[in-house]
Structure 1
Amino acid sequence: MFTNTINMIIRGRFCRRVIILILIFLASFYGTVLFYGDLKIPRVMRLTDLRRCPACYGVTVCPELYSNQIIPDKNDWTNMLFNAKNIYYGYTKSNRRIVLKKLAHDWEFSEFDNKLCKAWKLNKNCHPIDLLNVTGVEKKLEQLVHFNLTVPQVEPRKGLVFCPYSFGIHDFIEPALNNKKTSRNYQSDMINIWTMLSINPEPIVLQVIPKSKGWQVPAYGGVCGRLEIVAYEGQPLSVLGNIHWHRKLIIAKRLLDAAMDFTYKHDRFRFYLMDWSTDNIVVNEKDEITFVDLEDVIVLDKHISPKSDLPDWYKRYFRDDNDPANVFSIENMCKHHLSDHNIYAACHTLGGDNEPFLHPVPVDFQHWAQLSTLLRDCLKGTDRFKTVVLLQRYIAELLTKGSVVGIGSVR
């Protein structure tokens, strides 16, 4: 009797497990059908939220999505079902791998939509299409970036931080406008810009500093609804801790170069990147680096005539060495024409306290003492602008002379 009871319990547990497995399979199967239709034709358009336009990013790449020129990765279907970050992968018809990004969490979109009508002083039951009839959009853009700079006290701030004066935003967004002011589609463009500035400015930034002009950002494919298409640019730096030392130094040099480019390269603006996480810096097979998350960026208009509220504008702002690594002053960066923020961030990524990229050091690398000194000066010294140039030159010299070829074992 006791044996029979045990057998019944075991069979009962087995049946429950079988039922659970069947339910999981059915959920997976129908989930796949939901996103891929007949399992052959992808339905990436479901991700776009086109019904929310013009409160969206634009429609520049919609024809390619409609005609299946961009195909989600079928091996990524579980990610399509369970994806808190709203980041997906796919391919073009030419077999180039791409990333499809919604640029916000679902709850952030919901919060944005709930405030949409009130933000434009429309009826509480308004529809996004009603935004095509609103007035004063240009002024609204200035008010938005001014608010992002001056009002919020809790980090991270949402939307673009543009400083020191908001009126320069119109020159900044020009590369992202598809239609001239006289065009009937200009209003839609401006609402798209306002939406991106409110949710995530990355599509705008990628057009202001495009990869085609040598910037260390993803190649921009376009937008459709609330979906951005960019090129897949490689593996995160965070998973490359055990690569050959020679490659590490190449990447280190390019990180320093990127810090200088974002600070100096553009004729009009400086770009201070707030998130230097090694998950957001990727590396391709040529050891070229790309910053793949450009949501948290301070854009500084360096060609302004300072007013009395900027008495220290022509002075350089040096980050306080006593501040924790992830602490920075937006206010101070925006009150000076030049900050060493990017330089410090690059050096901290390479040699800071939290899992530095240039550690561990190979046992047979004979030049670590000098390199370590330069990194320490970059983190703790009095003039990072000077130190970073010396650091760039020293790493370049090591690579040119072949001083690190064959070095591989670590301490």
Structure 2
Amino acid sequence: MSIIVTDALYKRMWIRRRFWKRLIFLTITFAISFYIPVFIFGNLKIPKVVRLTDLNRCPVCYGISICPELYSNQIVLEEHRWQDLLFNVKNIYHGYTKSNRKVILKKLAYDKQLDKFDNNLCKTFNLHSNCTPMDLLNATNINKKIMDIVHYNLTRNVSVQPRTGLIFCPYPEGIHDFLKPILNNKIGKQYKSDLLNVWTMVNLNAEPIILQILPKSRGWAVPAYAGVCGRLEVVADEGVPLSDLGNIAWYRKLKIAKQILEMAMDFTFKHDRYRFYFFDWSADNIVVNEKDQVSYVDLEDVIILDKYITPKRDLRNWYQRYIKDYDENSVGYMFSIDLICRHHLSDHNIYSACYVLNGDDKPFLKPVPDQFEKGPFSKLVNQCLYGPDRFKAAILLQRYITDLLSKESVSGFGAVR
């Protein structure tokens, strides 16, 4: 008995074969994508914290202050977040302590940055090409190399090559006074090891240094610093990004806005010797906890200005304020490092905080409820961003928000978005 294959039957058979081919292809593709990570990492569970530390690179690392806690499993990774391992470009991990306090674990650099750094180590210290990190304990002139990095970052033409690490100004020689609290007057091999730790952080990411100079325990709006182990920093998880809070009640927005302004003022004025001008005041780098307390969490890119230096002839405008012009050929957070470093005071932090609240890029305080749209509140918010004296406007805005929060009527405003 023969079967007659009609055009319609042939078409159905062709479609069926095509479907199965695609199904088999997708199945194979999924299997490959699933089992390759298993093959590489052994399983889909987050590895123990110590595997992330790169302790074998020490003393060219950040330090070892929290290593005992990691080795004794006092701090562990969230195992259900296995995607952190597979797709974690930023090398930021989530974990918790034995007391169930959430923490963030950061390698503070991309893998490519770390590889490049390691590949240049021996050359940087004029050692043989296959030198080991321990060979660096015999290196000399580490203090000078730290100052060389700071000088490089201060004078670097960013159009040719980007800066690396912190910027200390106006004179790089002052960096050693700034670092004294970190080194704690240690001597011998321990001092050399700590000095290499500092050199590494100044090269890669100075956040652990800044967190020790500006501790949360003294009222600074930054994450609580737990310590470092190898090339891993551990800090408290201080909440969710401001960018996730667009629909919260208006009175909560006012509480948060007031703290953002206070934070900007503190970074500018609170320290008895230095001003801290942070680069990236984005809504992703300001976080809020369950008590509506605010923290600035990205302390890598910063200008540290020594405000009590004796200016030389190259700083003729030192005692003048640098006021950022809103129309100075830029938008958003762009600013001049050179101009900030040539003046004893800048409104950079104030401008940046006000931009978060009222700028062009998803401003936190907009839209303003109708009751406040045409009153003193809107006027002060605009003066904080566009006005000639942002310091005065920020202070007046803080006072006005404090007055609003004291009135029970404000708490009745829900979400305005």
Q: Which residue of 1 aligns with 2:35?
A: 26
Give identity over the alignment, percent.
Answer: 56
Give 1:349's match in structure 2, choosing from 356, 359, 377: 356
CA shift, 1:204, in A, is 0.2
Question: Matches of 2:372 and 2:319 in 1, distance apart?
Answer: 41
CA distance in 1, matches of 2:132, 2:41: 31
Report the CA distance between 1:31 and its aligned residue.
5.9
Q: TM-score, normalised by structure 1?
A: 0.93
Q: Note if contact 2:248-2:415 (Cα within 8 Å) is conserved in structure 1.
A: no
Q: In the alignment, is residue 358 of structure 1 matched against residue 372 of structure 2?
A: no
Gaps of 5+ in 1: none
Matches within 5 A, 1:154-193: 154=159, 157-177=163-183, 180-193=185-198
Q: Letter of the 1:190 partner, please give it.
A: L
Cα distance change of structure 1 residues 368 and 221 upon mapping to structure 2, 3 Å threshold: farther
Q: Which amino acid aligns with 1:393?
A: R
Aligned partner of 1:318 in structure 2 is 323
Is the 8 Å Cα contact of residues 62 and 197 (structure 2) preserved in structure 1?
Answer: yes
State how 1:265-284 maps to structure 2 within 5 Å: 265-284=270-289
When structure 1 is superposed on structure 2, of 51-60 and 272-281 the one drifting more is: 51-60
Tell me the residue number matched to 1:374.
380
Tell me the distance in 1 between the aligned counterparts of 2:231 and 2:414: 45
1:52 Cα offset (Å): 1.5
2:113 corresponds in structure 1 to: 108
Give a deviation string over 1:321-353, Cα, whole Å, max 9, x none: 212222211111111111110011111111111
Corresponding position: 1:339 with 2:346: yes
In the TM superposition, what is the alpha-carbon distance from 1:135 to its structure 2 partner? 1.1
* 1:69 counterpart letter in structure 2: Q
Task: Report what 1:208 is aligned to.
Answer: 213
Aligned residue identity for 2:268: T
Q: Residues 32 and 356 of structure 1: is their aligned pair in 2 closer, same or farther, counting only changes over 3 Å?
A: same
Rounded to whole Å, the distance in 1 between the matches of 2:175 and 2:256 is 33
Return the alpha-carbon distance in structure 1 between the equivalents of residues 262 and 70 of structure 2.
36
Give the one of 23, 31, 36 matched to 1:14: 23
Q: Secondary structure of the equivalent of 1:172?
A: helix
Which residue pairs with 1:72 in the alignment?
Answer: 77
- Counterpart residue type for residue 402 of structure 1: E
Unpaired runs of at least 5, structure 2: none
User: CA 1:374 to 1:303, structure 2 compared with 1: closer, same or farther past 3 Å?
Assistant: same
**2:195 matches 1:195:** no
Q: Give the aligned CA root-mean-square deviation in angstroms.
A: 1.9
8 Å contact 1:362–1:408 — kept in the other structure?
Answer: no
Could you tell me how far apart the structure 1 residues matched to 2:248 and 2:305 are?
Answer: 36
User: Are 2:355 and 2:363, in contact at CA under 8 Å, matched by a contact in 1?
Assistant: yes
Compute the displacement of 1:13 (Å): 2.6
Report if aligned partners of 2:151, 2:172 keep a CA contact under 8 Å in 1. yes
TM superposition score normalised by structure 2: 0.92
Moved more, 155-164 or 282-291: 155-164
Relative to structure 1, the CA distance from residue 366 to residue 340 in structure 2 (aligned partners, 3 Å threshold; closer, same or farther) is closer
Partner of 1:127: 132
Hey, what does 2:92 align to over in structure 1? 87
Aligned residues: 405
Larger radius of gyration: 2
What one-letter code is carried by the residue in structure 2 that aligns with 1:279? D
The DSSP-based 3-state class of the residue aligned with 2:280 is coil
The AA in structure 2 aligned to 1:306 is P
Q: Distance between the aligned counterparts of 2:409 and 2:403, measured in 1?
A: 8
Say if 1:32 and 1:77, in contact at 8 Å, map to a contact too.
no
- What is the alpha-carbon distance in structure 1 between the residues aligned to residue 141 and residue 248 of structure 2? 54
Between the aligned partners of 2:300 and 2:38, the Cα distance in structure 1 is 35
CA distance, structure 2, for counterparts of residue 222 and residue 35 of structure 1? 27
Contact 2:96 2:102 in 1 (8 A): yes
Q: Read off the aligned partner of 2:245 and give its amino acid letter.
A: L
Q: Which moved more, 1:253-262 or 1:401-410?
A: 401-410
